[in-house]
Structure 1
């Protein structure tokens, strides 16, 4: 069982320092979906304050202006992870923290761009550090593969009007998700309005519209996601290729026992620079006249 408290552990400041860690921040879009961004600069200011550097400006910064409730997740290089909730508490464009981020070795000699701002979050909840249970994750991947046949039947029964699948997830997204080394994180909006993020490395593509997740290793948290809740899945590999899927959560139960769930994609967002935008539904590009 994941344990939560109202402040960071002493060890977090040190564990969050390396730029090689994985940092995920979630805001909430106006239509209620979690919006996840890869922000490896996440760090600890104080036991009750989160901070992160803004390298580029995307939709998450726009959403934070309207809704300051955020969720975050950090995976350290030694495979410990933390998740929590924070209230966005503003940003600065100069000062000690601004200099700290821009003087990091990775950015100090960056000739084209540095951090444009430093943001702060007031901690509302943070988990204790836990080691990723790799054997249970591997078992969960095997179980996800075994669930695929039954999950496919469930998806066909759930489809309305006999519509053909839209094939929303692009081929490179399916390839990314199929790789067992792909990092996968699932998020949903909790009952208090804050996004919650957990690792979900066991997920596998069911088809070009759905992913399937077994209950291992964090079934007790997956079980708290309400049926048909708006959710998001963030996919990334160690080359920092990533993709954001937004959709709905469909729990899989058998004889009253929770077995996992299906994530049914509604929207697909390219989270990589230089062009962050939705690729499904496709956006109509403005016409350019010569």
Structure 2
């Protein structure tokens, strides 16, 4: 589904402060970055704004590359992804005042926002709904595949050999939660950092993540092996992390198809250490 402009449902979803929202950017070398940005809000069908608050890497990327992706998932498991162009930061005015007056910034323990970022919407690229049963089914499939990867290599059930452990225990635990919101990003053929929902994304022992492809939509099938990717998770606490690495491709385990990401870097994506590399 591709549509110019945002529907009323998407505008209403973006207005909620309680749902996970992600902003995907990329640097001058094409390395994607995707982090939770709960302040993302729709002004109208063509404009999205967000607060610049502990978004150092995101800001740096936006200064050299205006192409962005936005992803969100609602309480009733409706998923939307958006493509747009960053237009600039505003240090005063209507957008700045609107974001500054949100409870999350008026009463936080750190500081106020630095500026308001403005995104011009180009396309609503995906709109889908999933059920709790579908989520559970995808998660159970991945848990089964994780057990398979520990078996000796036999035919299609080849074990994935991971290297030196890269994922800290607390990061693995967050990615393994059923209720965690998870999105992946890569640069598509047009050079846009695309936000892709991956409800089944989980850790493997060592330095890898694994996911099934059924609920990633058509976009996930376009990612080529050895593509640089970033993935992010946020939980209800909220606690968030971002990992970066390489997509190793799709593998078949006893007839079940899964995608593998080899992790090379791990970052905190929430205060007080937002943007700090931890592994």
Same fold per superposition (TM over 0.5) = yes
Aligned counterparts, 1:71-220, within 5 A: 71-110=69-108, 112-127=110-125, 129-151=127-149, 153=153, 165-218=163-216, 220=218
How far the C-alpha of 1:65 sits from its partner, in A, is: 0.3
CA 1:134–1:127 in 2, change beyond 3 Å: closer, same or farther? farther
Moved more, 231-240 or 216-225: 216-225
Residues 219 and 260 of structure 1 are in contact (CA less than 8 Å); yes or no, is this contact kept in structure 2?
A: no
Higher Rg: 1
What's the CA shift string for 1:232-263, capped at 9, x where partnerless?
111221011111111111222449x8812111
The answer to whether the 8 Å contact 1:85/1:196 transfers is: yes
* Equivalenced residues, count: 273
Q: Please name the residue that 1:9 is paired with.
A: 7
CA 86–179 in structure 1, closer or farther in 2 if over 3 Å, else same: same
CA, structure 1 residues 177+253, in 2 after alignment: closer, same or farther (shift >3 Å)? closer
The answer (yes or no) to whether the contact 1:205–1:212 under 8 Å persists in 2 is yes
- Within 2, Cα distance between the matches of 1:259 and 1:176? 23
TM-score between both structures, scaled by the size of structure 2? 0.88
Deviation per CA, 1:113-135: give whole Å up to 9, x if none.
Answer: 22221111122221354323322
- Summarize deviations over 1:61-114 as a string: whole Å, max 9, x none: 011101111111122334322111111111111111111111223333557522
TM-score, normalised to structure 1's length? 0.85
- The 2-side partners of 1:69 and 1:205 are apart by 29
Does the 8 Å CA contact 1:202/1:216 hold for their aligned counterparts? Answer: no
Taking structure 1 as reference, are residues 178 and 105 closer, same or farther at Cα in structure 2, changes over 3 Å only?
A: closer
Query: 2:247 — aligned with what?
Result: 249
CA contact (8 A) 1:23 1:74 kept: yes
Query: What is the alpha-carbon root mean square deviation over aligned residues?
Result: 2.5
Note closer, same or farther for the CA distance 1:143–1:110 as it changes in structure 2 (3 Å cut): closer
CA deviation profile, 1:263-282 (whole Å, cap 9, x unmatched)? 110111122222332223xx
Q: Which runs of 5+ in 1 are unaligned?
A: 281-290
Residues 151 and 109 from structure 1, CA distance in 2 versus in 1: closer, same or farther, beyond 3 angstroms?
closer
